[in-house]
Chains A and B, each alone.
Chain A
Amino acid sequence: MTEPVISLRSVRADLGSRPVLRGIDLTVERGEVVALLGANGSGKSTAIRTIIGQVPTAAGEIELFGTPRGRFRDWARIGYVPQRTTAAGGVPATVTEIVSSGRLSRARFGMLRRADHEAVRRALEMVGMADRAKDSVDALSGGQHQRVLIARALAAEPELLIMDEPMAGVDLASQEVLARALEEQVARGVTVLLVLHELGPLEPLIDRAVVLRDGCVLHDGPPPRAVGQHALPGHDHVHPHSPEHEPMRTGLLS
């Protein structure tokens, strides 16, 4: 049994003077796909940003690949997709330029080599954006922009993907492309922790759901079934996969 990829023990975090996480325990094992769910303000994004070190912890311990986060340096093992806020910086940049930033965790101060360019090209192919490589990101739709950000995370060829609401504001076509790309990653044994507003097209991939409420873990187990309005027959959940190739993933890859 190897050590968990992510381990949080009694983690507390404050934003300003407001406690946002009030003692979270969370373990993600190798090869697992874990969804963090919860209402707005429940602490999902803060939990993610605590794990990557963007928000300081007030108490508790975080380990990444068995190393306390403060001493963790092996960032190439992690691919991070932040919550999309502004579409782009103040200066135009091409899709390739953005995705190449993902290689910084592997080629930090040297020149980009052939292997780096190859990895960037592969990442773009995985999200179906290879034909837009030379376009400015300003010209992309919200869904295409999100695909670029995911390609940037994939460019490092990470073992762990951490994604904050990757499906928010993403059109249906892009959702399907992203679900396929993620499925491919999971099949390779990549571990995934992602914040979701609803399971949506990723539902078949999710092994476990952790539901937060008011900064506490409310549920940790199988993904919750759709209830209430979501379960009504008129509510149309669209899945990109046909049922026969929904992957059976019960820790086989760990």
Chain B
Amino acid sequence: MDLLDYAFMQRALLAAVLVGITAPAVGIYLVQRRQALMGDGIGHVAMTGVGLGFLLSWSPVWMATLVSVLGAVLMELIRWYGKTRGDIALAMLFYGGMAGGVMFINLAPGGSNANLTSYLFGSLSTVSASDVTAICVLAAFVVLVTLGLRRQLFAVSQDEEFARVTGLPVRALNLLTAVTAAVTVTVAMRVVGLLLVSALMVVPVAAAQQLSRSFAATFAIAVAIGVTVTIGGTVTSYYQDVPPGATIVLLTIAAFILLTALATPLARRRARAVAARQPAGDPAECAIPATRAPEGTAGV
């Protein structure tokens, strides 16, 4: 493949694969706890980090990591202590983050919104060698957490109250989830962009659900979809000269539609199989249960 002859394409493909693995791996826990849009919120907050990176001439990737981790921790704290208007506090955090990004980048010497665009929508061809190093380190952290602690994170995301009674450190695990999601956002920032990150966290999981019955299978299928669409999108953008982030996200949605169409007959067949396994005596909806004693002979 001639596209692998170019160093920038090698870097782009490596970054794309890492994003394809990490975004659904974290996203599945966010979807499970019904916080599917948290990635989007973190993406907004990360913009302040990018802006600060330009202003202070530090690496925007590391600065965005720092700021989005702080933002994610803050969101988690608002969830704990926030009384009734937690959603308002979160909204302020999101839009404050976005406004901060625009402000800082315009204050930076020679900075303009044009610099921000590559972070908002991704710009694979400008991924530098040091970006790739950062992405590799961060992706390793994400994989370690999401796979190594899968039983614990599953329990906390499924039923927080029950998880607490098993003695799990629920708050620490919630914070870890938030931090891991923030790290993933910055991993994906260069590939799909901050505004499209959330799609890659949520849509592969939603697509995988069309086929799977178990959490483990959903995890595996979501990651497989993630890797497929990020590689597919990157290669397509190389040959067709289209923006990689948008291509990847549209491919993910196409995968969702395709799998949904395929899964509908599958689900029907599975429902029939379950019905066949049920004992024949299963009462029909409107039948009077046989165990109920007739009127008048009721015992104590």
A101 to B32: give the CA distance in the assembly, Å.
15
A54-B161, A234-B298 given as contacts; is B214 within 8 A of A100 (CB)?
no
Within 8 A of A (CB), among B220-253: none
Judge whether A108 and B168 touch: CB under 8 Å.
yes
- Tell me the nearest residue of chain B to A49, going by C-beta: B161
Q: CB of B17 within 8 A of chain A?
A: no
Q: CB of B265 within 8 A of chain A?
A: no
Judge whether B163 and A101 touch: CB under 8 Å.
yes
A101-B151, A104-B155, A238-B292 given as contacts; is B165 within 8 A of A90 (CB)?
no
A75-B166, A94-B215, A104-B168 given as contacts; is B289 within 8 A of A172 (CB)?
yes
Report the minimum CB–CB distance from B198 to chain A (whole Å).
14
Contacts of A100 in B (CB 8 A): 151
Number of A-B pairs, beta carbon distance below 8 Å: 119
Q: CB of A152 within 8 A of chain B?
A: yes
Report the minimum CB–CB distance from B292 to chain A (whole Å).
6
A16 to B84: give the CA distance in the assembly, Å.
10
Within 8 A of A (CB), among B176-212: 205, 209, 212
Judge whether A101 and B299 touch: CB under 8 Å.
no
Report the minimum CB–CB distance from B265 to chain A (whole Å).
17
Contacts of A206 in B (CB 8 A): none
Within 8 A of B (CB), among A135-183: 135-136, 139, 152, 156, 162, 172, 176
CB contact between A131 and one of B34, B277, B295 (< 8 Å): that residue: B277
Contacts of A238 in B (CB 8 A): 291-293
Q: CB of A114 within 8 A of chain B?
A: no
Judge whether A90 and B212 touch: CB under 8 Å.
no
Number of B residues with CB within 8 Å of any CB on chain A: 43
Interface centre among A52, A90, A93, A236 (most CB of B within 10 A): A90
Judge whether A93 and B214 touch: CB under 8 Å.
yes
Q: CB of A235 within 8 A of chain B?
A: yes
Within 8 A of B (CB), among A80-108: 80, 82, 89-94, 97-98, 100-102, 104-105, 108
Report the minimum CB–CB distance from A92 to chain B (whole Å).
5
- Tell me the nearest residue of chain A to B293, going by C-beta: A236
Contacts of B289 in A (CB 8 A): 172
Q: CB of B164 within 8 A of chain A?
A: yes
Contacts of A108 in B (CB 8 A): 152, 166-168
A89-B33, A94-B213, A172-B289 given as contacts; is B164 within 8 A of A101 (CB)?
no
Judge whether B298 and A236 touch: CB under 8 Å.
yes
CB contact between A91 and one of B28, B155, B166 (< 8 Å): that residue: B28
A162 to B164: give the CA distance in the assembly, Å.
14
Report the minimum CB–CB distance from B109 to chain A (whole Å).
45
Contacts of B168 in A (CB 8 A): 104, 108
Q: CB of A237 within 8 A of chain B?
A: yes
Q: CB of A73 within 8 A of chain B?
A: yes
Q: CB of A9 within 8 A of chain B?
A: no
- Tell me the nearest residue of chain B to A80, going by C-beta: B165
Number of A residues with CB within 8 Å of any CB on chain B: 44
- Tell me the nearest residue of chain A to B149, going by C-beta: A109
A101-B155, A152-B162 given as contacts; is B293 within 8 A of A75 (CB)?
no
Judge whether A92 and B162 touch: CB under 8 Å.
no
A89-B32, A101-B155 given as contacts; is B162 within 8 A of A233 (CB)?
no
Q: CB of A112 within 8 A of chain B?
A: yes
Q: CB of A60 within 8 A of chain B?
A: no
Q: CB of A78 within 8 A of chain B?
A: yes
Contacts of A90 in B (CB 8 A): 31-34, 36
CB contact between A105 and one of B28, B167, B299 (< 8 Å): that residue: B167
- Tell me the nearest residue of chain A to B168, going by C-beta: A104
Report the minimum CB–CB distance from A130 to chain B (whole Å).
13
Contacts of B218 in A (CB 8 A): 91-92
A53 to B213: give the CA distance in the assembly, Å.
33
Q: CB of A122 within 8 A of chain B?
A: no
Q: Which 10 A-B pairs have the closest CB atoms?
A: A75-B167, A136-B213, A105-B166, A80-B165, A101-B155, A104-B166, A91-B32, A94-B214, A89-B32, A93-B215
List residues of B whose CB falls within 8 A of some A CB.
28, 31-34, 36, 83, 149, 151-152, 154-155, 157-159, 161-168, 205, 209, 212-216, 218, 271, 274, 277, 289, 291-293, 295-296, 298-300
Excluding A92-B212, A92-B213, A94-B215, 10 further A-B contacts by CB distance (< 8 Å) are A89-B34, A90-B34, A91-B205, A93-B154, A93-B214, A101-B158, A108-B152, A108-B167, A176-B291, A236-B292
What are 13 A-B interface contacts by the 8 Å CB criterion? A53-B164, A73-B167, A80-B161, A91-B205, A102-B166, A104-B151, A104-B152, A104-B168, A134-B213, A176-B291, A237-B299, A238-B293, A239-B299
